[in-house]
Amino acid sequence: MSNTPLDDDLHEAMSRFKAAAQAQPIELPKIEPPAKVLVAFDQSNQDDAVAVAAREVCTRFGATAVLALASPGLDIETRRKHLEAMQAKLAGVSCEISPPQDDEDPADRILDAQQAAGAKFLVLPAPYLENLDKLGRDSVGSTAERVLARATTPILFVREPREGMAGCFGKPLTKLHVRQPEAADALAVGFALCGTAAQFRVLFVVDAAAMTEAAALLGHEVDPAKLTDQALLDDAQAAAGSLVAAAQHWASDHKAALKVDFKIGSDPDVTAREANDGGHLLVLPCPADRNSSAYSRALTVLRLSSVPVLMV
């Protein structure tokens, strides 16, 4: 299609019906609130922001915060002072102090502390540095990357310290991809964390350049007429039906506000821009396969985001 205005109108209307006709029932997993949340910090200027995020998470889940100081090479007294300072910032939240770890690598310390505490959720800083061109891959910090690469639980990365960060939890933005198995988990964890009072937003991004490249790699010729923005958005909408339906059913059952958006552009850029501009909590599905392109994309989004990012 896409030859005449009538074809375009038909294509647009059909894409919606296709979404309904092709929708497969998706059961969102039931999320048990974690009893313990590991809160890692590193005496940086992000400690306050980590405390705000940890307070939100622990309060919303009714969980105990397990405090772990990730910086190596501190004497016991200094370490105790920092932990007590963090505990004071979390006044009102049940706290435990993680036993000291011997590891040199902060990432090992965090993961070992998590294992020792049996924490099913992580909160840790991932520095947000604006000069991304120069910093490249280091911009979220190597510790955050290594923890992400090895963790098996959701991680909330605290990025730029910002005013009113707690407000982000009231407006989560979940970025989904239609063929990502972790998408349902990301939705469910976002719903469980942010609760029914939040204004949920679900975002799908159509990356035309990536699609063309993938098609070329597979040896498929792409008809440029079919790559109009509207046609791409229509097709994305048709393909996303199952996830949209699952999200809307949850929202309906819990009387929550949920809005679905489809955008076109470079996936990481659009996602990060939408999240940063809107001051959202960004929820991202993160594939278990750390060599996959989806994992690389998720990491790039994390690097570009200045808002807290929850990787599921």
Partner 1 sequence: MLLSSESSAFDPAWLPMAVLGVIMLITYLFIAFEKLHKSVCAIVGAIAAVVAAMAFGLFKTHGYHEVHEIIGHDLNILGVIIGTSILVDTVGGSGLFHFIGIRVVKMTGGEPRKLFLFVCILTFLFVSLLTLAPGSLLMASLVLVICRTLGYHPKPYLIAVAIVANSAALTTFSSGIATLMIGTAAEIPYFQFFIGSTPLAFATGAVAFLLLVKLYGKKLLEDASKAGDPVALKQKVAGFDEWAMVKDRRVFRRSAGVLGATVVGFATAQALHVGLDFVAMAGGMAALLFCAGDPEQAIKKVKWPVILFFVGLFVIIGAVKATGLLAVTADALVSLGGGSGTVLVLIIGGFVMLTSGFVDNIPVAATMIPVLDPIAKANPGMAAALFWVLISAANLGGNSTPIGSVSSVIALHALEADRGEKVGWGEYMKAGGLILAVQAVFVLGYVLLMMNLGWFPDLPKYVKG
The residues of the shown chain that bind partner 1, judged by CB under 8 A, are: 1, 6-7, 9-10, 13-14, 16-25, 237, 240-242, 244-245, 248-249, 251-252, 257-261
Burial class (CB in 10 A: 0-12, 13-18, 19+), 160: middle
Decide: 201 and 172 in contact? Cβ < 8 Å. yes
Q: How many other C-beta atoms can be found within 10 angstroms of the C-beta atom of residue 305?
A: 25
Tell me how far, at minimum, the Cβ of 242 lies from partner 1, in Å. Answer: 7
Cβ-based nearer residue to partner 1, 7 or 213: 7
Residue 114 and residue 168: Cα distance in Å, rounded?
25
265 Cβ partners below 8 Å, 6+ apart?
A: 205, 206, 207
CB of 232 to partner 1, least distance (A): 15
Nearer to partner 1, 25 or 92 (CB): 25
In the complex, the smallest distance separating the C-beta of residue 180 from partner 1, rounded to whole angstroms, is 17
Looking at the chain, list the stretches that DSSP marks H as alpha helix, in order from N- to C-terminal side. 5-22, 47-61, 76-89, 106-117, 132-135, 142-150, 183-194, 208-217, 229-239, 241-254, 267-278, 293-304
- In the complex with partner 1, the residue whose CB is nearer, 80 or 249, is 249
C-beta closer to partner 1: residue 14 or 166:
14
Q: Computed over its alpha carbons, how large is the radius of gyration of the chain?
A: 21
Cβ-based nearer residue to partner 1, 14 or 74: 14
